[in-house]
Amino acid sequence: MPSSFPSTRRVIPHEEYFPTPRGPLLPTGWLAVLAHDLRELARFAPVIANLVHQDLRVRYQRSVLGFFWTLLNPILMMTTMTLVFANLLGRDGDWRNYAIYLFAGQVPWGLLAGSLSDCALSIIANEALIRKIYVPKLVFPISRVLFHVVNFALSLTALFLLLVPLGARPSWSLLMLPICVALLAAFSLGLGILIAVLNTFYRDLGHLVGVTLQAWYFMTPILYEASRFRTSPWFLALNPAYPFIRPFQVILRDGQWPDPCVVGVSAVLAISSLGIGYAVYKGLEHKLVFRL
Amino acid sequence: MPSTRASSTSWSSGSDQTSASAPPIVLDDVSLRFVSYRDKQYSFKRAALDLLLRRDGTPPAAEFWALRHINLRIESGERVGIIGHNGAGKSTLLRLIARIYPPTEGSVMIRGTVAPLIEMGAGFNPELSGADNILLNGALLGVSRRAMKARLAEIWEFTELGEFADLPLKYYSSGMYMRLAFAVATSVDPEILLIDESLGVGDEAFKSRAKERIRRLLDRSRVVVIVSHDLNALRELCTRGIRLERGRVVADGPIGPLIDQYLADAHRTAG
Q: What integer pLDDT is reported at residue A6 of this predicted model?
A: 40
pLDDT tens digit at each of 271 positions of chain B: 333 333 322 233 334 444 456 788 989 889 998 877 655 555 666 677 676 666 655 555 677 888 999 999 999 889 999 998 888 888 899 999 988 888 888 888 888 888 888 877 777 888 888 888 888 888 888 787 788 888 999 999 988 888 898 888 889 988 888 888 888 888 888 888 888 875 555 567 777 788 888 888 888 888 999 998 888 888 888 999 999 999 999 999 999 999 999 999 888 887 6
Task: Please report residues of B whose CB lies closer than 8 A to that of A22.
Answer: 11
| Contact between A138 and A41 (Cβ < 8 Å) | yes
Task: Please report residues of A whose CB lies closer than 8 A to that of B192.
Answer: none
DSSP 8-class letter at A5 = -
Query: How far, in Å, are A266, A276, B9, B64, B195 from residue A273 at the CA level?
Result: 10, 5, 26, 37, 41
CA geometry: angle B228, B202, B198, nearest 5 deg: 20
| B133/chain A closest Cα distance in angstroms | 9
CATH architecture assignment, domain B22-113+230-270: 3-Layer(aba) Sandwich (3.40)
Strand arrangement of the beta sheet that strand B25-36 belongs to: A15-18, B105-111, B25-36, B62-74
Q: What integer pLDDT is reported at residue B257 of this predicted model?
A: 92
Task: Please report residues of A whose CB lies closer than 8 A to that of B132.
Answer: 53-54, 57
Neighbouring C-beta atoms of residue A220, cutoff 10 Å: 22
- What are the tens digits of pLDDT across the range B116-159? 888 777 778 888 888 888 888 888 887 877 888 889 999 999 88
pLDDT at position A221 over 60: yes
User: Do the Cβ atoms of B77 and A1 come within 8 Å?
Assistant: yes
Domain boundaries along the sequence of chain B: 22-113+230-270, 124-188
pLDDT at position A11 over 80: no
Where do runs of H (alpha helix) occur along chain B? 44-52, 90-97, 130-140, 145-159, 174-185, 204-220, 231-237, 255-270
- Residue from the list B2, B110, B125 with its beta carbon closest to the beta carbon of A54: B125
User: Do the Cβ atoms of A128 and B118 come within 8 Å?
Assistant: no
The answer to whether residue B144 neighbours chain A at the CB level (below 8 Å) is yes
> Searching chain A, which residue's CA lies closest to the CA of residue B45?
A204
Report the pLDDT averaged over residues A38-61: 84
Distance CA(A216)–CA(A195), nearest Å, equals 16
Q: What integer pLDDT is reported at residue A26 of this predicted model?
A: 59
- Here the ipTM equals 0.77
- How many alpha carbons lie under 13 Å from residue B215 in its C-beta half-sphere? 9
The answer to whether residue B141 neighbours chain A at the CB level (below 8 Å) is yes
What percentage of residues in chain A have a pLDDT greater than 90?
Answer: 37
Of B223, B228, B159, the closest CA to residue B187 belongs to B159
Report the pLDDT averaged over residues A133-150: 93
| A210/chain B closest Cα distance in angstroms | 16
- What are the tens digits of pLDDT across the range A96-134? 888 888 888 999 999 999 999 999 999 998 888 888 888
- What are the tens digits of pLDDT across the range A250-271? 998 888 899 999 999 999 999 9
Of A286, A27, A283, the closest CA to residue B107 belongs to A286
What percentage of residues in chain A have a pLDDT greater than 70?
Answer: 86
Residue A83, Cα to own-chain centre: how many angstroms?
28
Count of A–B CB contacts within 8 Å?
160
Lowest mean pLDDT among A13-17, A56-60, A101-105, A285-289: A13-17
- Residue from the list B1, B45, B102 with its beta carbon closest to the beta carbon of A18: B102
- Residue from the list B45, B110, B143 with its beta carbon closest to the beta carbon of A18: B110
User: Do the Cβ atoms of B109 and A15 come within 8 Å?
Assistant: yes
Q: Find residues 223-252 of chain B whose CB sits inside 8 Å of chain A.
A: none
Distance CA(A2)–CA(B218), nearest Å, equals 9
**Phi first, then psi: what are they for B67, rounded to 5°?**
-135, 140
- Residue from the list A16, A39, A131 with its beta carbon closest to the beta carbon of B100: A131
Q: What integer pLDDT is reported at residue B38 of this predicted model?
A: 56
User: Do the Cβ atoms of B132 and A54 come within 8 Å?
Assistant: yes
Q: What integer pLDDT is reported at residue A119 of this predicted model?
A: 94
User: Do the Cβ atoms of A15 and B99 come within 8 Å?
Assistant: no
